[in-house]
Structure 1
Amino acid sequence: MRISHGVLGLVLLVANPTYSSEVKSPPVLSPLQGQAQAAQMSAQILGSYAYRPVPLDDALSATVMNRYIKSLDPDRSFFRQSDIDVFMTDQAKIDDALADEDLTIPFSIFGIYTQRVVERMTYARRLLEQDFDFTGHDEYSLDRDDEPWPQSIDQSDDLWRQRVKNDWLRLKLAGQPDAAIRQTLDKRYANILARVYTYKSEDVFQSFMAAYTVSVDPHTDYFGPAAAADFEISMKLSLVGIGAVLQERDGFTTIRELVPGGPAQLSGQLNVGDRIVGVGQGDNGAVTEVLGVRLDEVVQMIRGTRNSVVRLDILPASAGESGQHQLIRLVRDKVSLEKQAATKTILPVENRGLARKIGVITLPAFYEDFEAHRKGEKDYRSASRDVAKLLEELKQAKVDGILIDLRDNGGGSLAEAIDLTGLFVGKGPVVQQRTAAGKVEVEMDELSVPAWSGPLGVLINRGSASASEIFAAAIQDYGRGVVIGEPSFGKGTVQTVLDLNQAARKSKPELGQLKLTVAQFFRINGATTQLQGVSPDITLPGLSDPKTLGETSYENALPSSKIKPARYKPLNKVTALLPKLQSRHDDRVKNDADFKLFVEDVAELQMQREKRTISLNEAERRAEQAARASRLKAREQQGAALASGDDGLQAGERSLTADLAQDSARKNAKDVLRQEAVSIVADEAELEGAGGTIPRVLQ
């Protein structure tokens, strides 16, 4: 977890701009019981049992120090050089401090950080009293990662003067009057200021441990008790609660979405936009006010055991802040997080005069309910089981081919990646693992007959990592299907999660969990995806930035290597077809207006990424704005969907209605890459001569 000025906490409701000079000091936080022990245990484990053991010494201490400071202030806008000089006197002492179970260093740094946030936000709000001149030629730096730290208060003031000026200009270009701009920005900076007073010791410790673990290995991590619980929920796709997606808005815990089939939706008592102002446990428990309480704390109050009662004091969406409250009673139940589960759709394709149907299965993660599996429950939830059911449904619909969409699927359960591969290749090796001791194990799937033997495509992008890469690489190595998209992330390592409480024989979950790298995986052809990723058979353009996303962006990533191939028999169903599939793809996109516009968007985005500064001259910015508007108008004339302009607002500053409309527009926007991938699978179906009536046998 990385803490910055825009991450944690709830906002302070500010009706009108106020520029009070009386700002209270931020709270002084100190370590909780068990945190120092958790850090010390983690250091021992990572120094001895990780795939690449890294002892915590003076050199690693310095790395951890720099990473921790960067996590707090990534764009170097809060700390000053004098702060950094003081911090660095302790850069070689972290190892000794952790050995002595002493967390004074990270907590003291965090204390200075909160002081600087208070100073900067107070100054930023005072700047709003003045008017700005946008006729000069000054610029605002967009990328300050490698810029010098401010040497003085005057330099800090100048940096924030430019930042506030840019914030103001963005809103002005969006058509807001000065009074509205002042109110919007004052509220924004007041919100950042308010977060300082909501930080807890858990936040400091989680941030420090993230800096330490990532310094050992990019995929090593520490989960505090709350983070560990959230990780478990994400893997099993279920929790016990009321089934509502909550969001903090203007100091209120607001209902953003009702989960279909959850207690909240079934009750008919709650609506999107309703605000939760109090929570009571059971039928008789006192109702605790939650105005201004952190969102994560409210969530914990609402979650609970199955069949237990929770009472909510609700301010309806239609009511003003002084409106009539409603007290509702809900019975908690198991809620399935269906939005993170595998889904299917059938897309028609007009392919060379023939109408074909391609089934698209979108898989956001390789999830598995580990606990239910361990207990031997027959109907436990998992990615491969859900996909098997969807394949059966698509079979019944007589689709001509299947596309597995793994874009932005960051991985999950290794076992699920193996089982999913088996659905398409049957029995055989899927991936190889090499332990720290050099022992290589070949992981097999035992499904005797594949669930789907017809035309297959796999769509990946830079966000497809780990288990996604195992699946895509196996499909490619077997020649079973065509891999389409961008080169993948490049994560070729295996992690396991250790419960520190069990290791220390603690009955209460106060120490958290440590996720550490224990092995490296290799393709069945002996190559690795580490750093290299999976190179698609047919490449599509992508919006991601390889400089900031992917294994190559980590300075301490494990190197790539190669081992002997496993014994496997390639199916080679598409190998001979790839030249024709590439040729047809090239011919098609030459005449596809939407695809050409997408390529233009990619080029424009790349150009914007290369800009390190932005002009604070209004005339120059309006000229850029006019050029963008001209491009959008040309697109409108071509029948293309319009992209929304920059309204200068940040997340949570728009109305909930506007936010939901924006989400809907993104969801319903034409997916150019998916459509082309579907066309490629349709070509594959034609060239293979398959029609979608392949027999299916699944044990």
Structure 2
Amino acid sequence: MALGRLSVALLSALIAFGALAKTQEVGLAELFPDERQARTMVVINKVLERFHYRDFALSDAFAGEVINNYFTDLDSGRLFFLERDVERFQRSAARLDSDLAKGKIDTAFDIFRVYRMRVDSRVDYALSLLQQPFDFERDERYLFKRDEADWAANEAELNDIWRKRVKNDYLLLKLADKSDEAIREQLRERYTGITRRIHQFTADDVYQAFVNAYTRTLEPHTSYMSPSTSENFDISMRLSLEGIGAVLRAENEYTVIQRTIPGGPARQSGQIQTGDRIVGVGQGLEGEMVDVVGWRLQDVVDKIRGPKGSVVRLQTLPKSETVGGRMREVSLVRNEIKLEDQAAQRFIIESPENATALRIGVIEVPAFYRDFRAESSGQRDFRSTTRDVRALIKELKADEIDGLIIDLRGNGGGSLTEALELTGLFIEEGPVVQVKDSFGKIEVEVDPDPAIFYTGPLAVLVDRNSASASEIFAGAIQDYGRGIIIGEPTFGKGTVQTLIDLDRYVPGDDTQLGRLRLTMAEFFRISGASTQLKGVEPDINFELGLQGIEHGERSLDNALPWGRIRPAEFEVKAELDLAALKRRSAQRIVNDDGFRMLLEQARVLSEIEAQDQVSLSERERRAESNRRDQVLKERKAAFLRARGIEPVDEDADHVDEEALEKQQEVIDRILTREAARILADMIVLQDAGERPRAAMSD
């Protein structure tokens, strides 16, 4: 039920596209460490101490944090362990650092065996509760965010937590209009499934889970893959990526959409959003909807993947609903995510608000892609972000645009080479980003092409999901003063990882030790500031009311801190006068129905994020869900009708996908249109004589 971060630790890259599900039960007598795992632990210690970007040394304090993180990974909802279990093993943390240095990991297996017994006990109790009636008129509340709650002091206290938990699970399905018999059967399957999946954990799974709690204590992007997981990873990388095009993560008992991939069925549907929780998966148009609450993440992904062209149905709890809110069913056709589906696209926004009508070109760049396979095979016309953007700029110049926006919203990064080359389209030769490795050596990555392709007015649109290579590009444009950065503070992913085969450190030995995904460097802007943690702060920040919601690198435990090194040598192109642009934009936004809709959505999401408990009264829950749903629907409908679009009924049995896609496009362009107005303002001010207007060049 609350498998928590345990699933995340099993490998972020692999879980995005699937793994092989286990079906055989593992006996308790098999859950003990072996010599290979002990040897691997010693090698991992040495690799971390020598190569990890953060200074690292085993200590009592570090070992204590490892124990705490392991408990959290196994039981983030604090639904299984008792206080005495935690205290017992915390007392052993004083010797854990010396044990780990020697490769002794018995404590990890001792904790897991207790965990498995506690799961069995809790599931038995949950099943017994399903034999009883529930009173939904009673005024009581359930604390569903339990990651900071105290561990239950005794069985009686844990029983009460589970009584409310099961009652809440029942109420959630009741609100979805399921019958009593169907609800009890679904919950029986859910709870017994918890036991079944925990009983399938092998010694390698236990070891991998512990090592990832260990590496996460050091830094969130370093992780371990056991030999079996490494093999599955290689298999998945050789297969075509046929699925829904979404990266998933585990959050308590739910599988959550972390982001959708450009060109994938999930994003193209317009019905799957970042933060939505997957609660069920069905095969085909009529297949049984299988409840996946509490499943291990890789098992959920395995259900979602399938042959290209086949249908998968997802039952989701939208991010705009609390735990226990209204669910939605979405049908998606699985497809292979191709490079061309992630390609940059262009369009033009007319900006008539200014004294002179201006044409602003927009290029959406969903990823920094490069067809390395085609390049290595000698193809001269291989696809890349920079080549595509260059061609699109040429087309926009032929359409006589007055300014250009590069839209990097939702762009999670990709090829560093592309970030360098794309920056080079807008600057003359010079540095783009600095990379500092674990030994303190700093390399300056430069624009590989001394020519400049576009010299006209430029803006870069970013959001909280613009990460890594996006932050390198936006940071360089901002540091040079080459363009104006608009949007939200970016993700803050400023570290560099590499995959290390641990077998190389035991030459002459055929034993397979697995791999370590290791953080070994950090990106710094040419101004000397890191993109890590803080990301890139826009010149003009759209205040969308989401500042109180933790997101990005800032939301991760043990993230590397923000830092600064010496600036590189570069010449600032221009100092932008932002005061007038900010004032004009703020005046427009106050009266913009699109921004009012986005602010209302943000207010509801912030309200939900701040909530840590829900009512177990059916009447109160229905009223709360209906209130939020009505507010959001009314705001969206008012905005769309103001744009001459009739809103799509997303709860209808048959949703008009084409109309829904058009509707979503209009919503997605609310921020783009304001960015175009801001850039148009800048051009008008420049033409008024405050600064010479830049020209476009070939």
Whole-angstrom distance in 1 between the partners of 2:179 and 2:659: 23
The secondary structure found in structure 1 opposite 2:424 is: helix
> CA shift at 1:42, angstroms?
1.6
- Aligned position for 1:324: none
- Aligned position for 1:356: 359
Whether the 8 Å contact between 1:274 and 1:314 is mirrored in structure 2 is no
- Within a 5 Å distance, the mapping from 1:327-366 to structure 2 comes to 337-338=338-339, 341-352=342-353, 354=357, 356-364=359-367, 366=368
CA offsets per residue over residues 444-481 of structure 1, 9 Å max, x none? 11211233333332222233333322221111011111
Change over 3 Å in CA distance of 1:36–1:539 after alignment to 2 = same
> CA shift at 1:571, angstroms?
1.8
Whether the 8 Å contact between 1:6 and 1:192 is mirrored in structure 2 is no
- Aligned position for 2:602: 602
- Aligned position for 2:216: 214
For residue 667 of structure 2, what is the amino acid of its counterpart? K
Whether the 8 Å contact between 1:10 and 1:191 is mirrored in structure 2 is no
Whole-angstrom distance in 1 between the partners of 2:225 and 2:8: 21
- Aligned position for 1:100: 102
1:616 aligns with 2:616: yes
- Aligned position for 2:284: 273
- Aligned position for 2:268: none
1:539 equivalent among 538, 541, 556: 541
The secondary structure found in structure 1 opposite 2:208 is: helix
The secondary structure found in structure 2 opposite 1:432 is: strand
> CA shift at 1:596, angstroms?
0.7
In the superposition, the TM-score normalised over structure 1's length comes to: 0.74
1:424 equivalent among 423, 426, 430: 426
> CA shift at 1:61, angstroms?
1.5
Whole-angstrom distance in 2 between the partners of 1:107 and 1:370: 43
Change over 3 Å in CA distance of 1:605–1:49 after alignment to 2 = same
Whole-angstrom distance in 1 between the partners of 2:308 and 2:179: 37
- Aligned position for 2:573: 571
CA offsets per residue over residues 567-620 of structure 1, 9 Å max, x none? 211222xx4353333233222212211211211221222222222222212333
Change over 3 Å in CA distance of 1:33–1:241 after alignment to 2 = farther
In the superposition, the TM-score normalised over structure 2's length comes to: 0.74
Whether the 8 Å contact between 1:411 and 1:467 is mirrored in structure 2 is yes
1:3 aligns with 2:1: no
1:46 aligns with 2:48: yes
- Within a 5 Å distance, the mapping from 1:181-220 to structure 2 comes to 181-220=183-222
Whole-angstrom distance in 2 between the partners of 1:206 and 1:658: 43
- Within a 5 Å distance, the mapping from 1:497-646 to structure 2 comes to 497-505=499-507, 510-542=512-544, 548-554=550-556, 556-572=558-574, 575-632=575-632, 634-635=634-635, 638-640=638-640
Whether the 8 Å contact between 2:304 and 2:312 is mirrored in structure 1 is no
> CA shift at 1:4, angstroms?
5.0
The secondary structure found in structure 1 opposite 2:443 is: strand
Change over 3 Å in CA distance of 1:658–1:228 after alignment to 2 = farther
- Aligned position for 2:272: none
Whether the 8 Å contact between 1:359 and 1:399 is mirrored in structure 2 is no
The secondary structure found in structure 2 opposite 1:670 is: helix
> CA shift at 1:30, angstroms?
4.9
Whole-angstrom distance in 1 between the partners of 2:285 and 2:511: 34
The secondary structure found in structure 1 opposite 2:425 is: helix
1:670 equivalent among 658, 664, 667: 667
The secondary structure found in structure 1 opposite 2:576 is: helix
> CA shift at 1:624, angstroms?
2.2
Whole-angstrom distance in 1 between the partners of 2:147 and 2:508: 41
Whole-angstrom distance in 1 between the partners of 2:179 and 2:658: 24
Change over 3 Å in CA distance of 1:351–1:211 after alignment to 2 = farther
For residue 475 of structure 2, what is the amino acid of its counterpart? A
For residue 597 of structure 1, what is the amino acid of its counterpart? M
Whole-angstrom distance in 1 between the partners of 2:455 and 2:553: 33
For residue 623 of structure 1, what is the amino acid of its counterpart? A
Whole-angstrom distance in 2 between the partners of 1:669 and 1:157: 49
> CA shift at 1:518, angstroms?
3.1
Whole-angstrom distance in 2 between the partners of 1:659 and 1:76: 43
- Within a 5 Å distance, the mapping from 1:416-495 to structure 2 comes to 416-495=418-497
Structure 1 unaligned runs (5+)? 14-22, 249-255, 262-270, 277-292, 303-311, 319-333, 648-653
- Aligned position for 1:306: none
Whole-angstrom distance in 2 between the partners of 1:434 and 1:48: 15
Whole-angstrom distance in 2 between the partners of 1:39 and 1:68: 16
CA offsets per residue over residues 339-394 of structure 1, 9 Å max, x none? 87343141533432736352232324x45566777787756665445544554555
For residue 145 of structure 1, what is the amino acid of its counterpart? D
The secondary structure found in structure 2 opposite 1:528 is: coil
Report % sequence identity.
37
The secondary structure found in structure 1 opposite 2:521 is: strand
| Number of residue pairs matched by the alignment | 616
Whole-angstrom distance in 2 between the partners of 1:164 and 1:187: 13
More off after superposition, 504-513 vs 620-629: 504-513
Whether the 8 Å contact between 2:593 and 2:639 is mirrored in structure 1 is no
Whole-angstrom distance in 2 between the partners of 1:41 and 1:6: 19
1:168 aligns with 2:170: yes
Change over 3 Å in CA distance of 1:149–1:386 after alignment to 2 = farther
> How large is the Cα RMSD of the aligned pairs?
4.8
> CA shift at 1:486, angstroms?
1.5
Whether the 8 Å contact between 1:395 and 1:692 is mirrored in structure 2 is no
- Aligned position for 1:266: none
- Within a 5 Å distance, the mapping from 1:51-66 to structure 2 comes to 51-66=53-68
Whole-angstrom distance in 2 between the partners of 1:434 and 1:317: 44
The secondary structure found in structure 1 opposite 2:516 is: strand
Change over 3 Å in CA distance of 1:47–1:379 after alignment to 2 = farther
> CA shift at 1:632, angstroms?
4.4
Whole-angstrom distance in 1 between the partners of 2:41 and 2:421: 36
